[in-house]
């Protein structure tokens, strides 16, 4: 059994087939890209994996468990974390709180211990706070720990969102267009950062990205979706020369 497996996933919304027969296998430590034109069904795949949608048919396996249709919070607790295409931070909470929220999955204390600040809870709280600060330090945002998340510029919000996802201690990290809205310099830094966290946290990473420089630069394998169907799988160089992919992105050539 592979580390992660999506087996013949289909997602229908009424008459629309958003994803058709999607298959994916990941091994620990993979860094895989998922690309395709707008509306190809990439985010729908993420939503099925993380439990936001229940697939119409097909199964999802993660570390020998069938996780198809489980609640999002359970899937997070099992070790799959994600970021969102249109950044979903808790904008009115401070940076440190955004990260600390994610530790609650693993807290062992009950509600009374939490409310009355009993010793075990406070020990956990302290450890959690220190770890959260360390994560913020890693994404170079620790000096802004008590600012509101909504006050950050776009690129820093993306970094905070990744830190928040890392705080759940994931084994598989799904990044939905992490480079969107970043300038070329920020994008370069992001590419280094993604490789760095994969090695440091022993992650497997699946990422959706439109910026081909990012995808071709860091992904070892690439899945290409178009109209819900997987049209190509391969290494970056294979994908770049695949006629199906070129057709999907640029349209069919017409001979006069």
Partner 1 sequence: MGKILTVLLIELLILIVSVFALKIESTVGFLLLLVSIVFAIYYGAKNEKIRYRLQDAFSSSRRFALILGIILIFIFPLFFMDSPYWVFVITIGVIYIILAIGLNMMLGSLDLVNLGFAAFFGIGAYTVGMITAKYGLHLPYLIVLLLAGIVAMIFGLLLCLPTMGMKGYYFSLTTIAFGLAVELTINNLEWTGGPGGIKNIPHISLFGLNLGDSYTVFGYDLPFQLNYFYFALVIMLLVMLVAWLIHNSRIGLSWNAIKEDDIAARAQGINIKVYRIYAFAIGSFIAGVAGAIFAPLMGYIAPTNFTYAHSITMVAMVILGGIDNIMGIALGAFLLSIAPEKFRAFSDYRMLIYALIIILMVIYRPQGLIPKKIRKYDFIGGAKDE
Interface with partner 1 (CB under 8 A): 50, 52, 71-73, 76-77, 81-82, 84, 88-94, 96-97, 100-102, 104-105, 107, 111, 114-117, 121-122, 125-126, 129-130, 145-146, 148, 164-165, 167-168
Residues with Cβ within 8 Å of 255's Cβ and at least 6 positions away in sequence, in order, are: none
Burial of 11 (0-12, 13-18, 19+ CB in 10 A): buried
**Dihedral of CA 69/83/3/171: which sign?**
negative
For the bound state, the minimum distance from the C-beta of residue 8 to partner 1, rounded and expressed in Å, comes to: 25
Residues with Cβ within 8 Å of 100's Cβ and at least 6 positions away in sequence, in order, are: 128, 129, 132, 167
Q: Smaller CB distance to partner 1: residue 26 or 81?
A: 81
Q: Smaller CB distance to partner 1: residue 24 or 167?
A: 167
* Residue 86 to residue 52: CA distance in whole angstroms: 16
Q: Mark residue 40 as left, alpha or beta (left: phi above 0; alpha: psi -120 to 50; beta: remaining).
A: alpha
Biggest CA–CA distance in the chain, Å, is 79
For the bound state, the minimum distance from the C-beta of residue 46 to partner 1, rounded and expressed in Å, comes to: 10
Q: Smaller CB distance to partner 1: residue 70 or 138?
A: 70
Q: Smaller CB distance to partner 1: residue 92 or 254?
A: 92
For the bound state, the minimum distance from the C-beta of residue 194 to partner 1, rounded and expressed in Å, comes to: 19
Q: Smaller CB distance to partner 1: residue 105 or 231?
A: 105
For the bound state, the minimum distance from the C-beta of residue 91 to partner 1, rounded and expressed in Å, comes to: 6
Q: Smaller CB distance to partner 1: residue 44 or 50?
A: 50
For the bound state, the minimum distance from the C-beta of residue 54 to partner 1, rounded and expressed in Å, comes to: 14
For the bound state, the minimum distance from the C-beta of residue 217 to partner 1, rounded and expressed in Å, comes to: 27
SS (H, E, C) 66-111: ECCCCCHHHHHHHCEEECCCCCCCCCCCEHHHHHHHHHHHHCCCCH
């Amino acid at each position: 059994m592979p580390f992660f497996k999506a087996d013949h996933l289909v997602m229908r919304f009424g008459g629309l087939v958003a994803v058709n027969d999607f298959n994916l296998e990941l091994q620990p430590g993979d860094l895989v890209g998922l690309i395709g034109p707008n509306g190809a069904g990439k985010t729908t795949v993420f939503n099925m994996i993380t439990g936001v949608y229940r697939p119409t048919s097909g199964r999802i396996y993660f570390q020998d468990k069938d996780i198809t249709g489980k609640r999002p919070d359970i899937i997070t607790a099992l070790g799959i974390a994600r970021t969102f295409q249109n950044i979903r931070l808790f904008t009115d909470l401070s940076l440190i709180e955004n990260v600390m929220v994610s530790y609650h999955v693993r807290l062992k204390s009950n509600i009374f211990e939490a409310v009355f600040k009993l010793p075990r809870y406070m020990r956990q709280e302290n450890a959690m706070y220190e770890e959260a600060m360390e994560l913020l330090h890693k994404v170079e945002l620790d000096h802004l720990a008590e600012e509101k998340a909504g006050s950050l510029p776009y690129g820093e919000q993306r970094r905070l969102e990744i830190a928040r996802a890392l705080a759940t201690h994931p084994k598989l990290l799904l990044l939905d267009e992490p480079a969107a809205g970043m300038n070329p310099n920020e994008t370069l830094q992001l590419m280094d950062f993604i490789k760095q966290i994969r090695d440091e946290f022993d992650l497997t990473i699946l990422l959706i990205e439109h910026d081909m420089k990012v995808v071709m630069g860091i992904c070892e394998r690439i899945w290409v979706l178009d109209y819900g169907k997987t049209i190509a799988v391969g290494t970056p160089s294979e994908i770049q020369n695949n006629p199906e992919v070129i057709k999907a992105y640029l349209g069919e050539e017409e001979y006069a």
